[in-house]
Amino acid sequence: MARRYDSSTTTFSPEGRLHQVEYAIEAINNAGTSVGILAKDGVVMASEKKVTSGLLAPARISEKTYKLCPHATCSVAGLTADANILIDQARLRAGRYAYQYQEPIPIENLVEHVCNYKQAYTQYGGLRPFGVAFLFAGYDESHGFQLYQSDPSGNYSGWKATVIGANNQAGKSLLKTEYGSSKKDDGDEMKTDDGPEGGIEMPDVAEATRLAVKVLNKTMDGAVASPEKLELFTMTLDEDGSCVHKILNEAEAKAVIAEVEAESASSGDT
């Protein structure tokens, strides 16, 4: 049934779906997982590096995490070639905004621009959509630290914590129970943002990094977490108020992985 309505981006199916866009989203579910977590003093993005060959020359700084401007970075899941185009678009947009207004671009503005660019490929031209999902981590003065997710349809939303790529549903369900849980809770109800009592308490960056590693452990199901397979990125502010984009080095990543292992061992999980 879908066969007749799925080969053109510019055609709705009778059920009101855009199949090409949905197939693009499927392509991303085969890509390396990326988890993003908003903390009270920063944003954390952890990604699974899919090592295809030991003969591969090392990527520039990263194949998953890309700086867009002094106060925003994104993490990629999906077709790297498609991602490169969009990352360049985002960098140009951020640069032009800063040139025009002599001010850093508000993060939502940047995300929306990239998403509008993606959306055009779902409506005009007969070209296929981009097979990329992004996590955007950024800081601006009006809204502080923010985390956004976008997909091939050009849709985006802001998150406190989210996962893209392979096994993202497993990651998301773990985040639902673990994000913002205080120590007293037994953690099996879904947390809601109702107020100070029983509400979500944002983790700090260190806690968020550990939680991110925990999520990746789950989504990589069975594979042993190690610095070669994980890339841990944090964004924080330094004393002058400028953003610090940091990819943890091997020693720091090992330390976090070890902490997470110790935590899970002591709480009796297998």
Partner 1 sequence: MSILEYNGAAIIAMAGKDCVGIASDNRLGIQFQTLAMDFKKVFKMNDKLMVGLAGLASDVQTLDQLLRFRMNLYELREEREMTPLVFTNLLSNMLYEKRFGPYFCEPVVAGLDEKGQPHIATMDLIGATLSSKDFVVAGTCEGNLYGMCETLWKPDMDKEVLFETLAQALLASVDRDALSGWGGVVHIITKEGVISRELKGRQD
> Among residues 30, 40, 81, 88, which is the contact residue for partner 1, using CB under 8 A?
88
For the stretch 34-48, what's the b/e string if a residue is b when 16 or more beta carbons lie within 10 angstroms of its beta carbon? bbbbbbebbbbbbbb
- For 105, the 3-state DSSP assignment is coil
CB 191 within 8 A of CB 181: yes
Max Cα separation, the chain? 59
CA distance 82 to 115: 13
Residue with smaller CB distance to partner 1, 92 or 258: 92
Does 67 contact partner 1 by CB under 8 A?
A: yes
With contacts defined by CB under 8 A, name the span among 23-31, 91-99, 112-120, 205-213 that binds partner 1: 91-99
What DSSP designation does 4 have? G
> Among residues 24, 68, 111, 135, which is the contact residue for partner 1, using CB under 8 A?
68
Does 176 contact partner 1 by CB under 8 A?
A: no
Q: Mind giving me the DSSP string for 7-58?
A: S-TT---TTS--HHHHHHHHHHTTSPPEEEEEETTEEEEEEE-----TTSPP
> Among residues 60, 183, 197, 238, which is the contact residue for partner 1, using CB under 8 A?
60
Does 25 contact partner 1 by CB under 8 A?
A: no
Residue with smaller CB distance to partner 1, 139 or 159: 139
> Among residues 61, 120, 127, 265, which is the contact residue for partner 1, using CB under 8 A?
61
**In angstroms, how far is CA 80 from the centroid of its own chain?**
15
CA distance 25 to 48: 18
Does 102 contact partner 1 by CB under 8 A?
A: yes
Residue with smaller CB distance to partner 1, 102 or 142: 102
Least Cβ distance, residue 91 to partner 1 (angstroms): 5
Subset of residues 144 to 163 that bind partner 1, contact rule: CB under 8 A:
none
Structure tokens at 63: 């194949």
Does 69 contact partner 1 by CB under 8 A?
A: yes
What DSSP designation does 216 have? H
Least Cβ distance, residue 89 to partner 1 (angstroms): 12
> Among residues 23, 49, 89, 98, which is the contact residue for partner 1, using CB under 8 A?
98
The footprint of partner 1 (CB under 8 A) covers: 60-61, 67-70, 88, 91-92, 95-96, 98-99, 102
